[in-house]
Amino acid sequence: MNTARGPRDGRDEQDERRELARLLPPPAHPEMAPEPLKEFLLNEIDLHHPARTPVSPHAAVRSVRQRLAVATAVATAMAVTAAVVVVVGLHRGGRPAEQAPPATAASVRLLERAARAAYVQPQAAARDTQYSYVRTVGHSTSLSETGGGTMQRATTTEDLEEWVAVDGSRPGLQRGTGGDRAIPAPGGGSLDSPTHKLLSALPTDPEALLQQIYADADLNHGAGSGSTTGPDQEAFTAIGDLLRSSVAPPGVSAALYRAAGRIPGVVTVDDAVDATGRHGVAVARVHNGERSEWIFDRQTLRLLGERTVLLVDGPWGAAGDEVTSVAVVARGITDAPGRIPAERSDT
């Protein structure tokens, strides 16, 4: 095994990170994200797929991000010829790892501080008869072909509220700009569509939790899958989705942040803006010419939201353009669909 990415003792590493977080103050100017890795994957783009327009910011963040990675890879392959030096190790499953360096020290420190902030947030135990509540505002980009054969970008803005049964046994409610829509009962749920009860059963040990997330990511993005995303990026995306669009117990939220610090390629961005205009500091990961950012309040370290920014020109826009942005406005536990929690974790 490459000594740069050798076996890890989860307990020793976590103790070391906690000690570093205690001794070192947060950096005044966290490390900027590096240049994106030049991955030339040309065989999956399909700009004529009918399901390109996202239906909500929750779905948009994942669906647009996946399509964007393919489109940007094509643009990057035509425009970039520079060589890239990479660190190659072994993945947790024993197969070759993705070509990315370990998470930066600054990102690990920031995620540790976010974990501590999440852990001390008060949250009453949720009953199976209750509902988790999340309200977000945001916008997403869709790409479609005009009658003349040119590609046209469109931006959709949406204010969304969702109520999901804690135990998944009953239908929920989605309330957006288009009115109310019933959400089918999710049953036991999954990492892609979690219930509060499922989240409560997740490991609070960061290494064990990350192993579970990687196992899920490998199913559709592992070796031989043909995916352009890859397990590392999918794991980062999955954790971001869980943190943004659900109500997890404080111990699980803290473990998710700490697990993210073990994903290769995670960096920091010193200034990022969420969909409501709030500025913060971000942890991010670059993949195929796009940067996925989790934005935190500088003082409280609460999660403000998430956005995806282009780093290269392409069909989705110019470098620096936002493709998706979702801000978390409120979340909590309530007794019925349509009812706003009396005590909310406003961010």
Tokens, residue 116: 């501590």
Model confidence band, residue 14 (pLDDT cutoffs 50, 70, 90): low
Average pLDDT over residues 303-313: 96
The arrangement of strands across the sheet holding 179-183 comes to 179-183, 172-176, 151-165, 131-145, 322-334, 303-310, 290-296, 279-287, 266-273
Q: 116: buried, middle or exposed (CB in 10 Å: 19+, 13-18, 0-12)? A: middle
pLDDT at 89: 31
pLDDT tens digits for range 172-200: 999 998 899 999 999 999 999 999 999 99
Model confidence band, residue 290 (pLDDT cutoffs 50, 70, 90): very high
pLDDT at 77: 38
In a domain, 346, yes or no: no
Residue % of the chain over a pLDDT of 70: 68
In a domain, 233, yes or no: yes
pLDDT at 57: 45
DSSP-derived letter for residue 90 is B
Q: 169: buried, middle or exposed (CB in 10 Å: 19+, 13-18, 0-12)? A: middle
Q: Is residue 32 within 8 Å of residue 61, measured between CB atoms?
A: no
pLDDT at 120: 94
CA atoms within 13 A on the CB side of 61: 31
Tokens, residue 190: 């999954």
In a domain, 29, yes or no: yes
Task: Find the domain containing 304 and state its range.
Answer: 3-334
Whole-number Å distance between alpha carbons of 227 and 244: 24
DSSP string, 159-182: EEEEEEETTS-S-EEEEETTEEEE
pLDDT at 37: 32
Whole-number Å distance between alpha carbons of 166 and 43: 41
Domains in the chain, number: 1
In a domain, 246, yes or no: yes
Whether the pLDDT of residue 148 is over 80: the answer is no
In a domain, 42, yes or no: yes
In a domain, 339, yes or no: no
Q: Is residue 283 within 8 Å of residue 260, measured between CB atoms?
A: yes
Which H or E run includes 60?
A: helix 57-79
Helices 250-260 and 231-245, axial angle in degrees (round to 10):
150
Q: What is the pTM of this model?
A: 0.73
End-to-end CA distance of the chain: 43
pLDDT at 49: 36
Whole-number Å distance between alpha carbons of 215 and 224: 15
pLDDT tens digits for range 118-128: 999 887 789 99
DSSP string, 92-125: TTSSBPPS-PPPPHHHHHHHHHHHHHHHTS--PP
Model confidence band, residue 226 (pLDDT cutoffs 50, 70, 90): low
Tokens 């290769």 correspond to what residue?
A: 264
In a domain, 342, yes or no: no
pLDDT tens digits for range 246-286: 999 999 999 999 999 999 999 999 999 999 999 999 999 99
